[in-house]
Amino acid sequence: MNPRIALISATPAAIPPAVTALEKGFPRARPWNILDDRLLTDVGEHGRTPALDDRMRRLIDYAVSGGADGVLLTCSLYGEVTKQVDTPVPLLAPDEAAFDDALSSGRTRILVVASLATALSDSTARFEQAARDKGIPVEVGGLLASGKLVETCQERARGWDLVLLAQYSLAPAADELSTALGIPVVSGPRSAAAKLKAVIGG
């Protein structure tokens, strides 16, 4: 039986990259899209709140009770919620696997790239914490590319030896960006699909 993977998204833009990554990296998986398109908007200027985290936890419970064999959150701002719940199936934060891939790459100068300021600050802080937790010394930078991703990175990302994309919506440009910069580009959807395949089987 093909495993059902629930993709919990806070924006429609995250869905196609996540589905495409599963199709390529875990073709046996059956994506199940669960969308609350206010989860990102409601964050506003004040960041996540206990009420918003509770909404995400309820969506995770809904996915598990609905028969999901694995759950992947696709919004980086809600990655910390995965630490607040215990599930009987694999539950991945959006960039958990991407962080692991970046930190195990052997690259020491890593640039986090995002198109939203909130996503950039959140992902950069959590990636730096992940590096500290693993005891891996890396230099971490941040780049806000709110438009023309590849062009902006070509102008401002020189000197780094790996790019980590902070948002699923940027993932479709990963290969083009890697070619343009001549360095590896790690994206959440691709890394997550590979990890789900490894832990679930396929």
Q: What is the largest CA-CA distance in the chain?
A: 48
Query: 57 and 38 share a domain?
Result: yes
Residue 157 belongs to a domain with what CATH number?
3.40.50.20
Residue 106 structural domain: 97-187
Query: Does 118 or 81 have the greater pLDDT score?
Result: 81
- Per-residue model confidence as pLDDT tens digits over 1-43: 899 999 999 989 899 999 999 999 999 999 999 999 999 888 8
Q: How confident is the model at residue 77 (pLDDT cuts 50, 70, 90)?
A: confident
Shared domain for 61 and 84, answered yes or no, is: yes
Same domain, 181 and 194: no
Question: What is the C-alpha to C-alpha distance for residues 126 and 76, in angstroms, rounded to an integer?
Answer: 10
One domain for residues 76 and 116 = no
Q: Are residues 102 and 155 in the same domain?
A: yes
What pLDDT was estimated at residue 56?
96
Q: Are residues 109 and 82 in the same domain?
A: no
- What is the Cα–Cα distance from 49 to 74, expressed in whole angstroms? 18
55: helix, strand or coil: helix
Mean pLDDT of the chain: 94
Same domain, 196 and 163: no
Report the distance separating Cα 183 and Cα 111, nearest Å.
Answer: 11
Residue 100 pLDDT exceeds 70 = yes
- Does residue 117 sit in helix, strand or coil? helix
- Percent of the residues in the chain that have a pLDDT greater than 70, as a whole number: 99
The length of the chain, given as a count of residues: 202
Q: What is the CATH number of the domain that holds 25?
A: 3.40.50.1860
Residue 158 pLDDT level (bands cut at 50, 70, 90): confident
Say whether both 47 and 127 belong to one domain. Answer: no
Query: What does the pLDDT average to over 44-52?
Result: 83
Q: Do 132 and 154 belong together in one domain?
A: yes
Domain count, the chain: 2
* Pair 55, 86 in one domain: yes
| Same domain? 89 vs 12 | yes
What average pLDDT does the segment 48-72 reach?
96
Question: What percent of the chain has pLDDT above 90?
Answer: 83
172 and 101, same domain (yes or no):
yes
* Token pair belonging to 78: 């809600």
